Amino acid sequence: DLIENEKFKKLTDEEKASYLLETKTPYFQYLWNGAFKSQSEKEEKDILIDHGFDGIMELDNQLPKWWLGLFYFGVAYCVLYIVSYFLTDFAHPDKEYDQEYKEQIAAVEDYMKTVPQATIETAKFSEDNVEEGKVIFQTNCVTCHGEGGKGGIGPNLTDNFWINQPEKTLFKNVFYMVENGSTNNPTMQAWGKNGVLTGNDIEKVSAYVYHINQEQPPITPAQGGAAPQGTEVQWEKSN
């Protein structure tokens, strides 16, 4: 206040009157005037820049105070954000995403623990499971059994020749093999016993294999399928 008083004493009478008028002006009115109020002719002469072009003169106007305020606020916010980003755990969308993802996966796993799982006794073929079974097959089985079950490292799943025949129906046979693996070929792991696939997952992938074997034409060697392996089998109709 002492500094302001000393400055005020050095003002001319006209400047003092202008200063007192500004102090009486409401804050938002002051911002409005600073942004949109036009200068008087005398004020324009004081801020007229001493150069022009083609009769056009330029005024040395100050930037509106609200604009300067927003600018300084933006600069301060950027500095604060950068410091927070590199020195704290704040403002890390990738970390927040990872955390939320882990929480959601944990919630799904907890939920799956309470969901009854299919067993070889209760599992049944359903057309509704074919598409989801295809996704599971492409994720876990296509490396050995090829696209669409045409075979590769593993046998062709679209023909009637099978190496392992522990069950009498095709659907149950596939379920058993996926759950328990093959004693003839260690590469065919026990997906169910190892905990990689749940009973419901096995039911779905079994539905997909049943679909490509019984409801689709076989992929022959001439079409890029693997040659038959094992012995030909006639499955019982019930699945």
Q: pLDDT value at position 66?
A: 78
Task: Write out the H or E segment, with its range, that includes residue 63.
Answer: none
Backbone angles phi, psi at 109, to 5 degrees: -65, -40
Task: Give CA–CA dist 226/239, Å, rounded.
Answer: 25
Q: pLDDT value at position 238?
A: 67
Task: Write out the H or E segment, with its range, that includes residue 88.
Answer: none
Burial (0-12, 13-18, 19+ Cβ within 10 Å), 97: exposed
> Is 127-232 CATH 1.10.760.10?
yes
pTM above 0.85, yes or no: no
Give CA 232 to chain center in angstroms: 47
List, by residue range, all CATH 1.10.760.10 domains of the chain.
127-232
Q: pLDDT value at position 50?
A: 72
Structure tokens at 111: 């939920």
Nearest one of 152, 154, 177 to 167, comparing CA atoms: 177
Sign, CA torsion 143/147/148/150: negative
Q: From first to last of its 239 residues, what are the pLDDT tens digits of the chain?
A: 677 777 777 888 887 787 777 777 777 777 677 666 666 666 666 667 777 667 777 777 777 777 888 999 999 999 998 888 888 877 778 888 999 999 999 998 888 888 899 999 999 999 999 999 999 999 999 999 999 999 999 999 999 999 999 999 999 999 999 999 998 888 899 999 999 999 999 999 999 999 999 999 999 999 999 999 999 999 998 65
